[in-house]
Amino acid sequence: MNVFDAMKDGGFDSVMYKYDKSTGLKMIIALHDLTLGSALGGIRFYPYESWEAALIDAMRLARGMTYKNAIIHRLSRGVLSHGGGKAVIWGNPKTDKTSELLRAAAETINLLNGKYIGGEDMNMTVKDVEIMYEKTRYVTGLQETHYRGGRIGSGDPSPVTALGVFEGIRSSLKFVFGTDWMANRKFAIQGIGSVGMALLEYLAVRSDPSRIIISDNDESKISRATLKYPGIQFLDPKNSDEIYDQKCDVFVPCAMGGVINDGTIERLATAGVKIVAGCANNQLLQPQHGEELKNRGILYAPDYVINAGGAINVATELKQLGYNHDEAVGMTRQIGPLLDRIFLDAAQKNVPPGRIADEIAERELADARQWNDSDIY
C-alpha cells in the first residue's frame, strides 16, 4: 500500500509537508480526524532517518491524538473538544533548532487557518512555544507567567502527564496485585526526559529508589537522576536496550513508540513483568501486540489513556474562561478510575484493555458525528 492509500484508508483529513530553505525547516503536519474540533497535538523535533520515517511517526501520532482527545472529551463531559493531529520537525534539536526555524514552523501552522493547534512534545520546550507564539496563536502550553493577548499559560505539561501516568500505574497495580502499595514493587523506566523524570519523582517518594531501574541514551539525564535519587539503579547508556530484560513488576516506557513488539514482549515476559504502563505514545508496534501481552499475562494500560494528562493540561489553556490548574489536575486524576473500568470490562469480555479503550473513543466520535450530521440547531 502506498502512502496516499494509507492516508485515505486511515481516515486522514490531510497531511502537509513544508521545507524552508532559509531556516532549514523540514516539517510535516498530519491531521487525522477533526470530528471533535480543531486538531490538538504536540510538535516533535527528532532526527529521523528519512522523510518516510518522519511521515510514519507523524501519522501514527496524529491517529493516537484522535483517540486521546476522544478520551479527554469523555473525561471532560464534552468541555474539552479537539480532533487529532501532530507535527514533526525533522532535524537534530541540539544543532538545528533556532529561533528562526521555530518562527518558520509557526508560520507553517498558520497556513492551516486554525485546523491544527500545536504544543510541546519530544525535544520541544515552553520557551520554544513562546517563540512560536510570536508568529502564531495556534500553539498552547505557554509559560505560566504568560498573560498576553488574553491567554493565561498552562506551563510545562510534563508534570501533569506524569501525574496521570502515576494514577494509571496505581490503577494497574490494584488490578493485578489487589493493592496500589508500591514499597515492595520494582519498576523499570525507559527514558527519563521531562515526563519520565517527573514520574520518577512520584515513584521514588512512594517506593524504594533502589527498586527502580532507569535507562536512557543520554548520559547527562542518567547523571541528573542518580544525583537526585541516590541508590537508584541505572543502565549504562550504551546498554540501554537491556531495560527489557530487567526483573521487575512494572515496565514503564517513556521514550519512543513501537517498543512493545514481538521481540520485546518475549523479553519482558521472561523477566517476569506483570504490567506495562508508561507515558510514551504508540507503545504497541502493531495492534496485535496488545493481544500478545494479554496472552502472556501482562496487563497493558492503553497509552493514549494513561498519558492523557498533558493534553488535558494544554487543552484547558484554550478554554474560553482560561487555564485553571486545579481543574486540569482534577480531570487528570480521573484517568485512574477510567482505567479501573477499562481493566474490569476487558477482563469480563476476555479482550485486551486497548480494545475497550478504542471502543470508548470510537463511541465518542460516533456520537459526535451523529450530532454534527443531525438537523438539530
pLDDT digits (tens, 9 = 90+) for 219-272: 999 999 999 999 999 999 999 999 999 999 999 999 989 999 999 999 999 999
Average pLDDT over residues 128-142: 96
CB 315 within 8 A of CB 338: no
pLDDT for 2 equals: 59
pTM, 2 dp: 0.93
pLDDT score of 148 more than 70: no
Nearest CA among 277, 283, 275, 217 for reference residue 60: 283
CB 300 within 8 A of CB 285: no
pLDDT score of 144 more than 90: no
Give 7: exposed, middle or buried? Use CB within 10 Å, 0-12, 13-18, 19+: middle
pLDDT score of 377 more than 50: no
Average pLDDT over residues 192-210: 93
pLDDT for 371 equals: 78
Residues 6 or more apart whose Cβ sits within 8 Å of residue 14: 30, 31, 115
Average pLDDT, the chain: 94
Catalytic residue ranges: 86
Torsion region of 99: left, alpha or beta (phi above 0 gives left; psi -120 to 50 gives alpha): alpha
pLDDT score of 374 more than 60: no
pLDDT digits (tens, 9 = 90+) for 271-315: 999 999 999 999 999 999 999 999 999 999 999 999 999 999 999
